[in-house]
Amino acid sequence: MHRIGIDLGSSFTKGVLVNEQKEIVDYFVSRTGFDFNKASLKVIEHFSAQHEIEYPIYTCGYGREKLTVPLVSNSEIIALSKAVYDIYKKPCSVIDIGGQDTKFIKINSQGQVDKFKMNRKCAAGTGSFLEEIAFRLDISALEFNEFAEEASEEIRINSFCTVFAVSEIIGMIKNGSNMPGIVLGVYNSVIERSFELALVEDFLVVTGGIPDNHPIIIKLFKNKFNNTVSPAKSQFLAAYGCVLLNIK
Amino acid sequence: MEKQINMSDKPEILKLQSTANLRITMDDYFNRLKTAEETRNKKIAWCTSVGPAELLYSMGFEVYFPENHGAMLGASKTADKYIPTAVAHGFSPDICSYLTSDIGAFLQNETPLQKSGFKSIPTPDILVYNTNQCREVGDWFSYYARHFNVPVLEINTPLCINQLSSSIIHTVAEQFKEIIPELEKVATQKFDIDKFRDVIAKSHDGCVLWRKVLETAQNIPSPITFFDSAIHMGPIVVMRGTQYAIDYYTILLAELQDRIKNNISAIPNERFRIYWDGMPLWYKLSSNAKMFAALDTCIVASTYCNSWIFDDLDPSDPFESSALAYCKLFIVRADEEKEKVLTKLLSDFSIDGIIYHESKTCPRNSNNRYGLQNRLLEKTKIPFIEIHGDLNDSRCYSEEQSIISIETFIQQLSNSK
């Protein structure tokens, strides 16, 4: 029998299939859209096509209360912390950059959440900031990443506001600034917002859809805080943590 | 294995029987104001919520409190309709949303009081404010003074008071005395020190009862929540210094003591006790009450409700004691003093965790802006979270994000219990 963990994110729904040895045997991700139930059922259908599933489903994230399948609901912050501690087994700081949230979590030596903080009520420092700028400039995530790799010098973005940041960038382009430098500035803007959330100490784990899809950001995090890691497929960790929290 | 919190079981919150009396008490208050408005049998003074209400009541005024009106606009979820109107008239969306919603509603000629038969808000004969809360009250009252062409009087209290010196108290007491001649020009009766002493005595007694009401929440489990207190504080705000407030809190206190005697708790299964710092989210009062109850969490104490305890009032020295009471108020104090007050409250109410509400348009009622939250954590080891919102402007509040924070915080507390 296999268990399913689902993290219903604002942009993407992430699912993991976990075997009886508590190992992830499959991953699935799709856009969440407006129908949370449908997004979750898509994950369940994908996994149950090849494996026998044990209910309930273990969930976290937005809109999980609306699902029509038997479920156990979890805080995504607690779930993510569980999965991160399961990997590193030591106290650490976590910065998770998702579609609309950026979270800071401090995990203690027992693997429990000591404190946490989320971004304030705007998109500054979240995945939406990057997405919106990329969309307005008609650049894919891959190209965004490549531009930053090419950059020799950062061109700093001042604006907190996503919309005004685009206006600022358009002004920079008009004045002849180079795209690699601008894109590097955009990434560093996200990183600066993350470090503003709380003091990062000892060991930093960066997770979420943004480091998975924009790997350059991990390198940039390391420039600011050397002892930084980002596990592979880190956007699935909260879903995995949901399962870990509930099985012995 | 982590302890799970099941949000799907929504427990019933036990309603206070006294709520019926509260409604009558508040209706009577507004009826007195309405009679004064319609018949002009009494003069109407507007006063800030922690202004010199006792002085005004002692001189025969009916007293109207715009902040109470602002809270009504928030609780009735209409503030968002009015704020843009005030903004269009030149008020910044970043200033007090009580002010912007109140003035916006006035500009649209709408008020929740119309449901109680008012044509508009009561017309002032005079306005009196105390800057002990913030400077915005001055701008707010001055707007109406210009509009109605009536006098506006100021008690100017220094802010961020650390050492409450006798010179500060004396200066404020003198200002209380200095406004009397101006009040007498408008009032139908002369100032009478004995009447003032009598109102001060009643205010003191009402405040003591209100303190005792709040202190019932020291009991485990608590018979009352912050969400109850935020509603039941109406009489101590608008009828401080009258027998009406004393009568009401005598009834409420008896009910709460009866709950304690019979081990009746405000929420069905109290596991966590929280301190709420900052303003209420008026537009989410009911849904937040249900959410916290579902999380087996009782908000047992708050900076906001505790701010209306003026038990330093003393009829034998009415001016100096009024000045002391209104300068000792939490919001007027420097962070060092605030820390002492909070440390005591956290201990007295057996607090497990603190929620700081950082209110976008009420910086003076947001105590997490200068590092106090971290200093208090270091001192007390009581964990906290910060949520970002506003007292009246719901556009500043991200509900989903806040719910995630609150649920996680309660799980965090559950792991440490």
Give tens-digit pLDDT for A61-75: 877 777 888 889 899
Domain span at residue B47 reads 19-416
Q: Residues of A numbered 56-115 whose beta carbons fall under 8 angstroms of chain B's beta carbons: which are they? A: 62, 65, 72-78, 82, 100-101, 112-115
Mean pLDDT (whole number) for B50-71: 97
**In 3D, which of B415, B400, B292 has the Cα closest to residue A81?**
B415
CA distance A183 to A134: 9
- Facing B1 at nearest CB: one of A112, A117, A246: A246
Q: What is the pLDDT of residues B205-252, one digit of tens each?
A: 999 999 999 999 999 999 999 999 999 999 999 999 999 999 999 999
CATH number (3.30.2320.30, 3.40.50.150, 3.30.420.40, 3.30.43.10) of A3-73 reads 3.30.420.40
CA distance A56 to chain B (A): 14
CA distance B40 to B196: 23
CA distance B399 to chain A (A): 10
List beta partners, residue B127. Answer: B46, B152
Asked if A121 and B401 come within 8 Å (Cβ–Cβ), the reply is: yes
Q: What is the pLDDT of residues B121-133, one digit of tens each?
A: 999 999 999 999 9
CA distance A152 to chain B (A): 37
Between strands B272-277 and A204-207, the pairing is unpaired
Predicted-complex ipTM score = 0.85
pLDDT score recorded for residue B4: 47
As annotated, the residues of chain A forming the CATH 3.30.420.40 domain(s) are 3-73, 91-231
**Contact present, B71 and B112 (Cβ < 8 Å):** no
From A131-140, B18-27, B142-151, B157-166, the region with the lowest mean pLDDT: A131-140
Letter string b/e over residues B147-179, b meaning 16 or more CB atoms within 10 A of that residue's CB: eeebbbbbbebeeebeeeeeebbeebbebbeeb
SS (HEC) of chain B: CCCCCCCCCCCCCCCCCCHHHHHHHHHHHHHHHHHHHHHCCCCEEEECCCCCHHHHHHCCCEEECHHHHHHHHHHCCCHHHHHHHHHHCCCCCCCCHHHHHHHHHHHCCCCHHHHHCCCCCCCCCEEEEECCCCCHHHHHHHHHHHHHCCCEEEECCCCCECCCCHHHHHHHHHHHHHCHHHHHHHCCCCCCHHHHHHHHHHHHHHHHHHHHHHHHHHCCCCCCCHHHHHHHCHHHHHCCCCHHHHHHHHHHHHHHHHHHHCCCCCCCCCCEEEEEECCCCHHHHHHHHHHHHHCCEEEEEEHHHHCCCCCCCCCCCHHHHHHHHHHHCHHHECHHHHHHHHHHHHHHCCCCEEEEEEECCCHHHCCCCCCHHHHHHHHHCCCEEEEEECCCCHHHCCHHHHHHHHHHHHHHHHHHC
Look up the CATH superfamily of A91-231: ATPase, nucleotide binding domain (3.30.420.40)
Instruction: With H, G, I as helix, E, B as strand and everything else as coil, classify residue A152.
Output: coil
Domain assignment of residue B3, yes or no: no
Mean pLDDT (whole number) for A142-158: 92
Asked if A113 and B7 come within 8 Å (Cβ–Cβ), the reply is: no
Number of domains in chain B: 1
pLDDT score recorded for residue A202: 84
Tokens of B200: 């001060």
- Over 80: is that where the pLDDT of B393 sits? yes
Domain assignment of residue B2, yes or no: no
Consecutive H or E run containing A115? strand A113-118
SS (HEC) of B146-192: HHHCCCEEEECCCCCECCCCHHHHHHHHHHHHHCHHHHHHHCCCCCC
CA distance B299 to B350: 11
Mean pLDDT (whole number) for B253-257: 98
- Facing B7 at nearest CB: one of A65, A76, A112: A65
- Facing B415 at nearest CB: one of A76, A112, A116: A112
pLDDT score recorded for residue A125: 81
- Facing A120 at nearest CB: one of B385, B388, B407: B388
CA distance A154 to chain B (A): 31
Which residues from B are below 8 Å from A245, CB to CB? 1-2, 4
Distance of CA B54 to the CA centre of its chain: 17
- Over 60: is that where the pLDDT of B43 sits? yes
- Over 50: is that where the pLDDT of A100 sits? yes
Mean pLDDT (whole number) for A118-132: 83
Say whether residue A218 is in contact with chain B using an 8 A CB cutoff.
no
Domain assignment of residue B212, yes or no: yes
**Contact present, A8 and A63 (Cβ < 8 Å):** yes
pLDDT score recorded for residue B91: 97
pLDDT score recorded for residue A126: 87
pLDDT score recorded for residue B11: 65
Between vectors from CA A188 to CA A185 and to CA A190, what angle results, nearest 5°? 115
Asked if A116 and B385 come within 8 Å (Cβ–Cβ), the reply is: yes
User: Which band of pLDDT confidence, cut at 50, 70 and 90, is reported for residue B1?
Assistant: very low
CATH code, B247? 3.40.50.11900
Which residues from A are below 8 Å from B357, CB to CB? none
Which residues from A are below 8 Å from B385, CB to CB? 116-117
Asked if B4 and A62 come within 8 Å (Cβ–Cβ), the reply is: no
Asked if B411 and A78 come within 8 Å (Cβ–Cβ), the reply is: yes
From A61-65, A214-218, B110-114, the region with the lowest mean pLDDT: A61-65
**Contact present, A227 and A204 (Cβ < 8 Å):** yes
**Contact present, B382 and B347 (Cβ < 8 Å):** no
CA distance B228 to B245: 16
pLDDT score recorded for residue B9: 54
CA distance A177 to chain B (A): 34
- Over 80: is that where the pLDDT of A123 sits? no
User: Which band of pLDDT confidence, cut at 50, 70 and 90, is reported for residue B2?
Assistant: very low
pLDDT score recorded for residue B3: 42
SS (HEC) of A69-114: CCEEECCHHHHHHHHHHHHHCCCEEEEEECCCCEEEEEECCCCCEE
Asked if B412 and A113 come within 8 Å (Cβ–Cβ), the reply is: yes
From A234-238, B99-103, B285-289, B397-401, the region with the lowest mean pLDDT: B397-401
Asked if A118 and B401 come within 8 Å (Cβ–Cβ), the reply is: yes
**Contact present, A124 and A160 (Cβ < 8 Å):** yes
What are the φ/ψ torsions at residue B298 (nearest 5 degrees)? -110, 125
pLDDT score recorded for residue B10: 61
Most B CBs within 10 Å: which of A75, A77, A112, as the mutation test of the B interface? A75
CA distance B265 to B120: 40
Between vectors from CA B260 to CA B255 and to CA B263, what angle results, nearest 5°? 120
Say whether residue A238 is in contact with chain B using an 8 A CB cutoff.
no
Say whether residue A246 is in contact with chain B using an 8 A CB cutoff.
yes
Which residues from B are below 8 Å from A101, CB to CB? 401, 404
Domain assignment of residue B329, yes or no: yes
What pTM, to 2 d.p., does this model score?
0.92
Most A CBs within 10 Å: which of B360, B401, B410, as the mutation test of the A interface? B401
User: Omega before A56 cis (within 30°)?
Assistant: yes
Say whether residue A32 is in contact with chain B using an 8 A CB cutoff.
no
Say whether residue A222 is in contact with chain B using an 8 A CB cutoff.
no
- Facing B1 at nearest CB: one of A100, A115, A245: A245
Say which residue, A80 or A99, is predicted with more confidence: A80
Mean pLDDT (whole number) for B151-175: 96
Domain assignment of residue B12, yes or no: no
- Over 60: is that where the pLDDT of A132 sits? yes
